Structure 1
Amino acid sequence: MSVTETEAADLAPGPAGGAAPTVLTPRLRLVLVLLLATQFMLAADFAVLNVALPVIGRGLGFPLAHLQWIATSFALCAAGFTLLFGRVADLFGRRRLFLGGLVVLAAASVLGGLAQNPETLITARVLQGLATAAVTPAGLSLMTTSFPEGPLRQKALGLNGALMSTGFTTGAVLGGVLTDLLSWRWAFFINVPVALAVLVVAPRVIKESRPDERPRLDVPGAVSVTLGLLAIVLGLTQAGQRGWGSAGALVPLAAGVVLLLVFYAVERRVPAPLVPLGVLGRRSVAWGNVAGLIAFLTETSLVFPLTVYLQDVLGFSPLVAGLSFGVLGLGTVTGGTAAPRVIGRIGSKRTLIVGGLLQTVFTAALLGLGDHRSSMWLMLVGGFLGGVGNMLVIVGFMVTATSGLADREQGLATGLATMTQQVGITMGTPIMSAVATAAMAGTGASAILGGLRVAIAVNAAIVLLGVLTSALFLRGARSTAR
């Protein structure tokens, strides 16, 4: 039995009525389809506008220097408010927040699709980010409370991880296709029918989930952690634009660290903390989220150097470059569907290690990429197998970080996991961009390739660091778990 599974057996109450079910009933199957469809839509929404940014800028009159705020405004809210909304879901009802967030998402998508000026579009992106911060942890906590710990939860989280990761790739490809064939506005409108379909069906099949006693919301903790996360994400995005030594990056990063220290001090003193330090002190939660942060940071940020490689070194078009990442998507689907079986055989801790080693090896293999198109086979094979390993880590992280906790804490656990995901996605590309740019000795193809190799090497080293933290700090968690 793995460390996480041992903790779960010791700490988590079993499901009512005996052993956890091992077969999907028709209702559970429909619940799973609804939750998976929603999570896939949210993941695709994160990336769907990236390809269309120049077209949107020309169409609405965005100054080039402000174009990045179309993505940044979304990322700030999606990452900054996730932990708060995860706890709100625990307190006031997960289904209620899930459905309410979908209503906001649908309305914001209509607003964005109809926008005639930059201010309206940014407002729509802020609302989409807030909706994502509400729906994602609420949906994940509905999943973990609908499927008790065991094979069904592992299968559900495996499919969820695979579809989320595939959604990021699909979003980039879909954004390009919709922009080319129809209009960038359809990148917004495509959310609406999916959200409406879920809103019609979900209230009939998804049961409400909330604690019997409603504790008070930790307002000082909520304010300090939300502002702290907003500042850190802002600093990371500014670092990618202005450089890591700029005041625009250092000031918000420093403010974010101070606010998170204030948050820690608040949580030690309030009677009903937003994040009980006993929960955060469990190795399965703390180090599981470290593994997840590294997994999301490394795989999503690898898209940046590979996109530059395909277009600026090999000379492929943006559409061909985008379609090439379909192989990476296939790898993540393969890893996500295999992960539950792997976890069932070797446990979640060993799955984190095996997946991380697989990702490390095939990320490092990309250092062999050359300046001829014959290197495409290496990129495709490395991307596919690295995607398999990455998804083993992501599913292992989700199982580890949400196990051994009572149902009343699942919103908190999934809020932490979702925050980890959003921060990892947000900070990865600025880090890889800064590393690659600093390492480039010129503007020619060979100089660009040299800088990209440095970024790939750093990426592989970070993945290996995640393997080491899982191997070292999850060891002996049973004896020290609280």
Structure 2
Amino acid sequence: MAIDTTSSTSTPPPPVRATPDTSRLSTRDKLVLFVLCAAQFMVALDFSVLNVALPVLGADLGMSQSALQWAVTAFALPSGGFLLLFGRVGDLYGRRRLFLTGLALFGAASLLATLAWDPASFLAGRALQGLGAAAIVPTGMSLLTTTFPEGPARDRALGISGTLLSLGFTVGMVAGGVLTDVLGWRSTMALLAVFALTVLPLAPRLLPASLPHSLKDTGGAPVPHRPRLDVPGAVTVTGGLLSLIYALSTAADHGFAHADVIATLVAGVLLLTAFAVVESRAAAPLVSLPMLRRRTVAWGNVGGLVTFSMMSTVVFALTLYLQEVLDLSAFQTGLVFGVQGVMSAVAGGYAPKVIGRFGARRTLVGSLVGQGALIAALLGLNAHTWSVWLATAAVSLASMCHLGAIISYGLTVTSGVPDGDQGLATGLVTSTQQVGLTVGIPLLGVLATTSDDLLAGVHTVLALDSAIVLAAAVLVGLGLRTGRTASGSIEASGAFEASGSVETEALGAR
């Protein structure tokens, strides 16, 4: 009789190894993140550092009150208009190369604006700053998402980046007032030049080389048919975005009935419609329509557009309220927003953990609900001095929710996107940011500035702002819900599910 010896000779199971902590960043990872985040912080700073200095700047350079808007618009036009184009150029021809070019251009333009001798030279510097920013932002975000793989490491990286993005806008408001009072308006532009010239020497040594997308699968060898830039798409989308941003920026001062505003709004709509037609027929489109049909890309960007545009409107309305209704000084107003900045930084540390626990979709929707509810709390503001405490507490907590929305929408849009299309995805993310920062104040802020009763006007702005954010939360929640696509495949809606350990989901199947 044969003897069964399998039980006595079976190989013991291998020891269970602890799962490595993939959220830990190496020293080099931290340095790469520092370079990328410093550049993003610098661009965010540029959006607000000049605001307080505008009256002094105008008097020094001989710019009229009506011309001062161009100090902001000259930057916003190229920075928002060229984002999609430069995001795709980075994909096709190398992201690091374009990122470094953008940094060099931004630094040189900041020096030109610092040394400006008349309005024309100053506005030229601002426009070149915007062009440099349009190259830095999408390529910097692409380098971040391709350097840090999906999972806890990318969560942390995007958390830090989102925190500094939000903090940069707030710090700019505070620093702009202090620098202008102490050193003059030119110091605000000099600060940006120092940032750029500090980061530029470090970037080539630390940032990973990024091969053009067309060479990725060939080991760097040339391929017979290198993808070409979609020129008709680039012309129509850039022209459309430029027209739209110009119209909305001009409307803040002249109203929507102004002839220039109407003409450029119509031109923007027509050009963007033409862009959609061009992309549907292009062999190598600038924007892949299947990409836009991803639920995560489409609805994630809706959430991002709303959170940016509505929060910038709140900051604008509160600035008017604190200085015109409560008679606070510019410095005291800066302190209120300084508290907001600190709370945003705190939120940046916790947001990745929240996303890891609940997923990016739930975090995005929950953050929008929190932001809308806290903006509604600001309706309790009145003409009494104690309202400053309500303003400080509500806007700070709303900013924490706002930061959660920023990070979770960025994760939602970019997760699951192939590396070769990351420039496109992050171009959409950053276009949403720039357009959001541009459109909110013209759309709602004008209601406060044109009201006979400023406090009543501020209340109207805040009520509409809150309603829009809460409505967006509902729509984004429904749009990102898990469901079946037309092909019958399951389309995942969150970035990460909590199941004992953080696991990457398949975001928005094509």
TM-score range relative to shorter protein: over 0.9
Distance 1:46 1:433 in 2: 17
- TM-score, structure 1 as length reference: 0.93
| 1:242 aligned partner | 254
| 1:454 aligned partner | 460
Structure 1: 5+ residue stretches without partners: 1-17
Q: Deviations over 1:112-133 (max 9, x none)?
A: 1110000000000000000000
Q: Is 1:262 paired with 2:274? A: yes
Q: Is 1:304 paired with 2:316? A: yes
Distance 1:25 1:477 in 2: 38
Distance 2:253 2:230 in 1: 35
Q: Answer yes or no: is the 8 Å Cα contact 2:80–2:245 preserved in 1.
A: yes
- The one-letter code sitting in structure 2 at the alignment partner of 1:185 is R
1:470 CA drift (Å): 1.6
Q: Answer yes or no: is the 8 Å Cα contact 1:363–1:456 preserved in 2.
A: yes
| 2:235 aligned partner | 223
1:107 CA drift (Å): 0.5
1:68 CA drift (Å): 0.6
Q: Is 1:381 paired with 2:393? A: yes
Distance 1:140 1:204 in 2: 18
- TM-score, structure 2 as length reference: 0.88
1:336 CA drift (Å): 1.9
| 2:476 aligned partner | 470
1:19 CA drift (Å): 9.6
1:189 CA drift (Å): 1.2
1:194 CA drift (Å): 2.2
| 1:119 aligned partner | 120
1:327 CA drift (Å): 1.7
SS of the aligned residue for 2:372 comes to helix
Q: Deviations over 1:162-189 (max 9, x none)?
A: 1101101111111111111012111111
| 2:6 aligned partner | none
| 2:136 aligned partner | 135
| 1:170 aligned partner | 171
Distance 2:404 2:483 in 1: 21
Superposed CA RMSD in Å reads 1.5
Distance 1:331 1:383 in 2: 10
1:373 CA drift (Å): 0.6
| 1:10 aligned partner | none
1:195 CA drift (Å): 1.6
Distance 1:19 1:125 in 2: 47
Question: Among residues 307, 320, 324, which one is paired with 2:332 in the alignment?
Answer: 320
Distance 1:100 1:84 in 2: 15
Q: Answer yes or no: is the 8 Å Cα contact 1:178–1:184 preserved in 2.
A: yes
Identity of matched residues, %? 49
Q: Deviations over 1:238-268 (max 9, x none)?
A: 1111112222222111110110000000001
SS of the aligned residue for 1:149 comes to coil
Q: Answer yes or no: is the 8 Å Cα contact 2:92–2:214 preserved in 1.
A: no
TM-aligned CA distance change 1:462 to 1:72, over 3 Å: same
Q: Deviations over 1:192-215 (max 9, x none)?
A: 232222221111121112324341
Q: Which moved more, 1:62-71 or 1:113-122?
A: 62-71
Q: Answer yes or no: is the 8 Å Cα contact 2:214–2:227 preserved in 1.
A: no
Q: Which moved more, 1:286-295 or 1:471-480?
A: 471-480
Q: Answer yes or no: is the 8 Å Cα contact 1:20–1:150 preserved in 2.
A: no
Q: Deviations over 1:22-45 (max 9, x none)?
A: 321111111011111111111001
1:477 CA drift (Å): 5.0
SS of the aligned residue for 1:179 comes to helix
Distance 2:47 2:23 in 1: 33
TM-aligned CA distance change 1:20 to 1:236, over 3 Å: farther
| 1:56 aligned partner | 57
1:285 CA drift (Å): 0.5
| 1:79 aligned partner | 80
Distance 1:241 1:183 in 2: 26
1:355 CA drift (Å): 0.8
SS of the aligned residue for 1:76 comes to helix
| 2:341 aligned partner | 329
